[in-house]
Structure 1
Amino acid sequence: MRTSRWIFRWWGAWPTWTGYAAAAWSLLYGALGLFWAMGGSGYPFGPVDEDHLSGSVLEGADVGVTAPAMAAVGAAGAVLGVVMARGRGRPALRNALLGLAWAQAVTFALVIPDYFLIAFVALAPLLVVFAFTGVPGAQGGVGDILYWHRVNLLVLFAGGVLWAATALAYQRRTGGACVHCGRGDRPAAHWTSPGSALRWGRWAVWAACAASLPYEVTRVAWYFGWPLGITEDFERMMQDTPGMLEAGLGFAIASLLGGVLTHGLVHRWGAVYPRWIWFKAGKRVPPALAIVPASVVAVALVPAGLMNLRVDLEPGLWAVSLPGVIFVAWGAALGAATLSYHLRRRGACRRCGRGTAERAGRDDRAGDEAGAGVAVGP
């Protein structure tokens, strides 16, 4: 119990430690860059057999150029993280620091990684099982899935998340807003009100579900023998490759289930457990239970989409990569829907107390609607 409380307290204090964590991450990764620049082994973008290639934008990059750049960026990031964690900065310096921090966040989390981020999110439960049972098929084990070229991309993604948190905390701190909730002394913008957020959140949910349809339809069609958007030869190749069509079908089903859960971001059952979840029926859904996984998926979709933008579209094979390009729009729409859910579910800030009046007004309206027999939304 004490350990869990300490974890929650530590997690709740994220604005105070993310800058130092980002600095430490940058220092360590910069040290790796220096090691590779001096001829050390393990350079993650070097020559590798075709089965272990990544789809990263840096795949095949010259170690003589990339490794020293990693070392320099890492050293600069170590200083930047400490400065942002401790200092406030004048307006001109503030803007420069924020620009550098957000640039690192976008580069490490969205630009350099590939499709493996979203695949890892989808396969994570299976990887735990495979660690004990072994991987079905010709692969020798989990190491054939989590090899260094891929693990490195997860490491870079983690660094990008740390830099995004560092930039957000610094932006709020230097902008006079609460570092925990982001509210300031000025009246909140209209689009952040619960009613407005619900309206544009619904559009975001429908956009997210529509963006996933091309991927889902094509993969289901392939499984049942219809070469939609591909050649018949390509369809036969997949049929002759054990597990290939099944994997595509599995991802499509996971996507469809994710679409159903996405609707919960704008419906009542996303805020209060429905009756068919009998052991929780009528109880409040913790906001983080929806916000955290939805945010992770939204961010992980974007690198997959950007990777597909770099793939050459072969004649007769448009369905191989074109549905993946739409992952960028899918991730953006899911992120917007998640933000809408957060704005409608957030309560008064425990640190600054802002939002108390807003919450009280919302509770009064909910009580009036419940008394009148009207279904109460989130």
Structure 2
Amino acid sequence: MTTMTSGRPGRSAALWAALWALVYGALGVAWALGMPGFPWGSSDPDPDRALSILAGTGPRFGWWIAAFALPTAVTALALTRGSDSRLPLFLAWPIAALLILVVPDSRVMMGVAYTPLLLVAPVFGWGLGGATLADAWPWPVLNQLVCVLGGLLLAAAALAYGRRRRRASWFTPERGRRAVYVAVAVPLLYCATRWAWALGIPLGISREFLAQGQDDGMWLAGAYLATFGAFGGLLTLGLTQRWGEIFPRWLPVLRGRRVPPPLAVVPAGFVSIIVTVAGLTYIRWTVAGRFALDEWGAWLPECFWPIWGGALAVATVSYRLRRLGGRDGEPAAEVSPRRALP
């Protein structure tokens, strides 16, 4: 007979998820009653582009938010109990998926990608058309991060609730290794198109579109994003390489020390979410017929991003389980820093 062991961290995550749901539900009621700040509809800085799946809603949608928040809070509280019932899991995972993958849109990824550039631009005197961090992170986009946070808290609680004793994990090191290769390869199609455009090669687009992007400097920004993605792919290799567990010798101070698992798991997990969300946005636009077939370079590479995000998620979970010793959280066998140095 198996027993349920949610553990203190899982219980804490469930309680925080319940609190998040109650607070967000109260916000929904306030928006419905006229409080400013409703993050969709006319309050969205890009309402005409319909980036969000909730772009057509108005403040009265806040009543639906409140109605959604109540069962979310109840489900989160149910995850704090040491029960063998699987009903809380059947409710928690769809809610978490909705908050993490459906409510957000591609602007979260764009904000993450452009933030480093916006931070260093003043140092080098780059104007960037007057764009600021406030433009990259308006309240409607920050609200998406708030929704992702709620989904992650609920997912963490569900993972802890569903953890069983000594069950073989699907996330094996071999699957993690294959997932890393996929996560590195998939974004290269996007990188190839953007680098080609920056070099004046109309890969997947018309020459007219190429000239338009050259006039306004759009392809330089595209090349930056491509390089950002390629660098992220390079870091993904660390999930299966020795330097992803032990800091390499060329790093001063840190050389030979063990890499704390959260240092890799948190950013990799977050990137897996935002690239999946961005890819789902492009797929939604493709289904809606918003793209031309002869301009495939502008949209087709992004439609593969959910594969990228899914593979990165598998690689991240496999890395986490390998480093922390499996599903039961037992410490992994120690690795000698001296022997592990490259």
TM-score, structure 1 length as denominator? 0.77
Give the match for residue 345 of structure 1: 323
- The unaligned stretches of length 5 or more in structure 2 are 1-6
Alpha-carbon distance in structure 1 between the residues aligned to 2:319 and 2:143: 32
Q: Quote the offset at 1:209 in angstroms.
A: 1.3
Alpha-carbon distance in structure 2 between the residues aligned to 1:49 and 1:274: 45
Code of the residue aligned with 1:88 in structure 2: it is G
Give the match for residue 82 of structure 2: 88
- The unaligned stretches of length 5 or more in structure 1 are 1-11, 178-183
Q: Does the alignment pair 1:238 with 2:217?
A: no
Where has structure 1 moved over 6 Å in runs of 4 or more?
Answer: 130-135
Alpha-carbon distance in structure 2 between the residues aligned to 1:348 and 1:212: 29
**Which runs of structure 2 are paired with 1:308-319 in the superposition (5 Å)?**
308-311=282-285, 312-319=290-297
Give the match for residue 189 of structure 1: 168
Give the match for residue 254 of structure 1: 228
Give the match for residue 21 of structure 1: 16
Alpha-carbon distance in structure 2 between the residues aligned to 1:103 and 1:73: 12
Give the match for residue 176 of structure 2: 201
Instruction: Find the partner of 1:302 among 259, 273, 276.
Output: 276
User: Is contact 2:44-2:55 (8 Å) kept?
Assistant: no
Code of the residue aligned with 1:327 in structure 2: it is W
- Give deviations 1:215-247, integer Å, cap 9, x for gaps: 1101111111111111122212212224x2222
User: Is contact 2:240-2:319 (8 Å) kept?
Assistant: yes
Alpha-carbon distance in structure 1 between the residues aligned to 2:196 and 2:162: 47
Percent identity reads 38
Instruction: Find the partner of 1:155 among 132, 146, 151.
Output: 146
Alpha-carbon distance in structure 2 between the residues aligned to 1:153 and 1:219: 27
TM-score, structure 2 length as denominator? 0.85
Q: Does the alignment pair 1:144 with 2:140?
A: no
Alpha-carbon distance in structure 1 between the residues aligned to 2:23 and 2:123: 31
Code of the residue aligned with 2:203 in structure 1: it is L
Alpha-carbon distance in structure 1 between the residues aligned to 2:129 and 2:141: 19
User: Is contact 2:15-2:77 (8 Å) kept?
Assistant: yes
Q: Does the alignment pair 1:291 with 2:265?
A: yes
User: Helix, strand or coil for the counterpart of 1:275?
Assistant: coil
- Give deviations 1:335-356, integer Å, cap 9, x for gaps: 112222223222499xx8x746
* Relative contact order higher in (CA < 8 Å, ≥ 6 apart): 2
User: Is contact 2:40-2:56 (8 Å) kept?
Assistant: yes
Alpha-carbon distance in structure 2 between the residues aligned to 1:340 and 1:148: 34
Alpha-carbon distance in structure 2 between the residues aligned to 1:322 and 1:21: 39
Structure 1 stretch displaced more, 268-277 or 137-146 = 137-146
Q: Does the alignment pair 1:61 with 2:57?
A: yes
Change (3 A) 1:101 1:224: same
**CA RMSD, Structure 1 to Structure 2 (Å):** 3.1
